[in-house]
Amino acid sequence: MNREQASEIQRHALDTVKAIHGVEEILLGLTKEERLRFGDHLADVYCAINFGILKEIYDRFPDLRVGHEEPPEVSSFLRWEDVSLPNGISEADLDALIFSVLKTNWQKTAVVITKTRDQCTARAIPIDFEAIGARILALAELRRIESAGNPSMWRHSEVRLMEG
């Protein structure tokens, strides 16, 4: 493969990654069962492109990597102090649901939000993604969980349980 071919493959691969992000947005609105059916396939494709095809290209042509990363974006500007929880649901209740999906290993903030929302849906608790994201941000700021990156950038940050 020459540099011109690598550049063309990279262009198509990056277009595919952008399309995958669009599919992810749609998946967030599906039922848990549907998300599970589609999510694994999507993750396989995403990993194959980013850690297979693009890695191979960048290993051979490192100069192609410059300027082609997805720019981080804030997913929500909602702050915890602006959230109103549904009647009968306390901050501690939401925290318990968040902590039930957190692990000691790093997970994308978007994954934790989605899994927490699934927990809420299973319990008929009407809390949206933004409220969960705001609480995760607050937990990170309070140092009750660890974060890497800005947790308000859901796809560009990771969170985990505190070590120790």
> Residue 71: what pLDDT?
67
Distance, CA of 161 to CA of 164 (rounded, Å): 9
> Residue 27: what pLDDT?
78
- Name the band, by pLDDT with cuts 50, 70 and 90, for residue 31: confident
Q: Which of 130, 132, 106, 138 is nearest to 119 (CA)?
A: 132
Whether 70 has a pLDDT exceeding 70, the answer reads: no
Q: Mean pLDDT highest for which of 32-36, 46-50, 95-99, 118-122?
A: 95-99
Q: Which of 76, 114, 82, 83 is nearest to 97 (CA)?
A: 114
- Name the band, by pLDDT with cuts 50, 70 and 90, for residue 69: low
Are 128 and 76 spatial neighbours (Cβ–Cβ below 8 Å)? no
Whether 68 has a pLDDT exceeding 60, the answer reads: no
Residue 49, Cβ density class (10 Å: 0-12 exposed, 13-18 middle, ≥19 buried) = middle
Determine the distance from the C-alpha atom of residue 58 to the mean position of all C-alpha atoms in its chain, rounded to a whole number.
24
Secondary structure of residue 110 in the 3-state scheme: helix
